[in-house]
A and B are shown apart, each in its own frame.
Chain A
C-alpha cells in the first residue's frame, strides 16, 4: 500500500518538473551546445555558418591575418572586452556608492513609507528598458533637453553632442541597473540589528567607525549580491552601447549582436559569446568559492 503510494508520488514529482526541464533543455542547454559547435565552424559570409572545422574565430579575437598570411596581434577586440569589464566595474561601484545610503535611509523609515519608497525604487524597472535608455538619448543628444536647458540658462552657446562616448554609456548603465543594487543591500540592512550600531556608539565609536567597522561588514552579503546582480548583466548589456555608445565605443553586447546582424560572422559571434560566458562564469565561480569558504569558516 505505502509503496504504491510512494510510486505515485514519484510520478507526480517527475510530472511536475518535466515541463521545466524540457523547456530548459531545448531552449538553454542544447542551444548553448550549438554555440560551442558554431564557434568551431567556418562563417558563411551570406549569414549562418558552414560545417567546416576551424578555430579561426577564436584566433580572430586576438589576431588579424595580414596580406602575407602572417598573424598580427590586433587589440581592437581586446580593447572592447577591456572596456566592457572596466565600465561594468565602474557601474557597479557607482551603483554601490549611491545605493548604500539610499537603502539605509529607506530601511529606517516607517513601514508604510518603506513600502512606498521600495515601490518607487522598483517602478522604473517595470518600464521598458528601451524607453528608459531612450530618455537619456532625449536628454543628451545634440540639441537635446540638457543642451537647451543649459543654453536657456546662458551657460553654454553651442555644445557637442553628449552622446556616443563612455560617459553616456556609464550614465545609462547606472540608470538601468541601480535598482538591482538597492534591493539586496536593503534586505541585508533590514536583517541587521540596529542595536548593534547603538552598541558600537556606546563603546565610543564615532559615526565613521560604526559605518565602516560595524554596518558595512555586516551588510557584506547584500553588497556582494548587489555587485553581482549589477556587474553580470552589465557585461552583456546591449541597448546602452547601441544607443548611447555608438560605433566607436562598443561593448561586448553590441559587438556580439553585430556579428549576427550586419557583420554576418556567426562563428566569430559564437566565440565572442563563449568569451563573455567564460568571463561571467569566472566571476560567478569566484563568488561561489568565496561563499563556500565563508560557510566553512562558520562551521
Chain B
C-alpha cells in the first residue's frame, strides 16, 4: 500500500492550549480513513490542517511525497465536504458544482460534462437549476459531495458530514458514501464523533483523544483489541473490573478478579503484582448456555428490552455486577425475569487486560 498523505510530528497549539500533540500518521491510497474521537480531541483541527485552513505549529504534511504545510488551501489538490455543507447560497446547484472547475480553468465543454456527471452520481440531475435554500438537508449533503468530488481531488476530506441529518437518512448516507468511495477510488478522510458510523464505514480508524492518537487500526481490531481503557470505553460497551496479576508465564498471565475467580489471558506485557483493568464486552457473555472457560452464577437485577437485543444486569455471587447483552433471536418468551438466578459463561479469549 502506498501512502498518499504523510503527517510527521505535527503539533498545533492555540496560545497555551495544545489541540494536537506531536502526531504522526500515514493515510494510504484508496482508503476510507476515519478520524474518530470525542469533541475537542483534535480531529477537526487535524482535518483542517490537511485542507490548509490551519497552519500546524510544527511538523510536516506530505501529499504524494511533497511538503504542503506551507501551501494555501486553494493550491492543494484536496477538497472538503463541510459540516454544514457551506453551499454558496447565491449560486444554483450546477454553479456550485462548477465553481472548482472554473477555478482550475477547465474548458467549458469539460466543465459542463463533469457537472452533469457529478449531478448524475448523486442522483440530483433534475435539480441543477435549484438554489441551495430550496433543498432538504440530505439533498444539500449530496450537492456538497458532488461539488467536492467534481475537481477530482487526490483526497476528499469530510468533516462530520452526516451529523446534521436525521437518523434514518444517516443510515442510508453511510452506504452511499461507502459506495461512492469505492466507485471513485478517491481517498476519503472522514471525521466523526460517532463510533458506530466509524465502525460501519472505515477501512481504518484513528481514535484521537486530547490531541493524541489512542489507537490506529481497522474496525475489528479497534473493537476487539483496544489498546487502552479509553479505547475500550469509547468504542462500544464494556464491563470494566480492577484486577491484579497473580502469575505470569511467557505467553499468558493469570489475573485475580472481583468475580471471585482467576482468569487466564494472553500476556500483553504485564509483570506479576501489576494492577490492571479487565475489559469484557457484554455480548461475549452468554446466559444459561453451554459451559465455557468461566461459569459463574448470579441474579438478574435489571433488564432493558432494546428491540433487537436485551440488556441484563446480573449481580454475581460475591456482589460484582456484570452487564450482559443477548440477541432476541426467537422471541421474548425465554426472557429472564427479575431476581431469577442465571448462569453466566464466557471464554478466557473474550477478556482483555489493559493498563489500569
Contact = CB atoms under 8 A, between A and B. Distances in A.
Interface of A: 1-2, 5
Nearest to A1: B70
Nearest to B69: A2
Contacts of A5: 72
B55 interface: yes
B12 to A, nearest CB: 14
Interface string B114-142: 00000000000000000000000000000
Closest 4 CB pairs of A and B: A1-B70, A2-B70, A2-B55, A5-B72
A138 to B, nearest CB: 47
A196 to B, nearest CB: 29
A5 B55 CA distance: 12
A250 to B, nearest CB: 54
A253 to B, nearest CB: 46
Interface residues of B, number: 3
Nearest to A6: B55
4 contacts: A1-B70, A2-B55, A2-B70, A5-B72
Contacts of A1: 70
A1 B55 CA distance: 12
Contacts of B72: 5
Interface string B46-81: 000000000100000000000000101000000000
Interface in B195-220: none
A1 B70 CA distance: 7
User: Is chain A's binding surface mostly helix, strand, loop or mixed?
Assistant: helix
Contacts of A2: 55, 70
User: Is chain B's binding surface mostly helix, strand, loop or mixed?
Assistant: loop
A246 B72 CA distance: 66
A5 B75 CA distance: 14
Nearest to A2: B70
A1 to B, nearest CB: 5
A5 B73 CA distance: 13
A2 B72 CA distance: 10
Nearest to B71: A1
A265 to B, nearest CB: 56
Interface in B24-55: 55
B67 to A, nearest CB: 11
A4 to B, nearest CB: 10
A213 B238 CA distance: 50
A2 B70 CA distance: 6
A79 B348 CA distance: 96
B285 to A, nearest CB: 46
B22 to A, nearest CB: 20
A7 to B, nearest CB: 14
Nearest to B70: A1
A3 to B, nearest CB: 10
Contacts of B70: 1-2
B56 to A, nearest CB: 11
A295 to B, nearest CB: 21
B277 to A, nearest CB: 39
Interface string B262-305: 00000000000000000000000000000000000000000000
Nearest to B72: A5
A1 B68 CA distance: 12
B314 to A, nearest CB: 43
B61 to A, nearest CB: 13
Contacts of B55: 2
A263 to B, nearest CB: 57
A2 B68 CA distance: 12
Nearest to B55: A2
A205 B284 CA distance: 57
A22 B205 CA distance: 55
A5 B71 CA distance: 11
B52 to A, nearest CB: 12
A12 to B, nearest CB: 15
Interface in B71-103: 72
A133 to B, nearest CB: 43
A1 B72 CA distance: 11
A264 to B, nearest CB: 57
B73 to A, nearest CB: 12
B281 to A, nearest CB: 43
A75 to B, nearest CB: 58
A6 to B, nearest CB: 10
A1 B75 CA distance: 14
A256 to B, nearest CB: 48
B343 to A, nearest CB: 52
A1 B71 CA distance: 9
A235 to B, nearest CB: 43
A2 B69 CA distance: 10
B100 to A, nearest CB: 23
A1 B69 CA distance: 11
A5 B70 CA distance: 10
B263 to A, nearest CB: 51
A5 B72 CA distance: 10
A10 to B, nearest CB: 16
A194 to B, nearest CB: 28
A195 B70 CA distance: 52
B72 to A, nearest CB: 8
A69 to B, nearest CB: 66
A2 B71 CA distance: 9
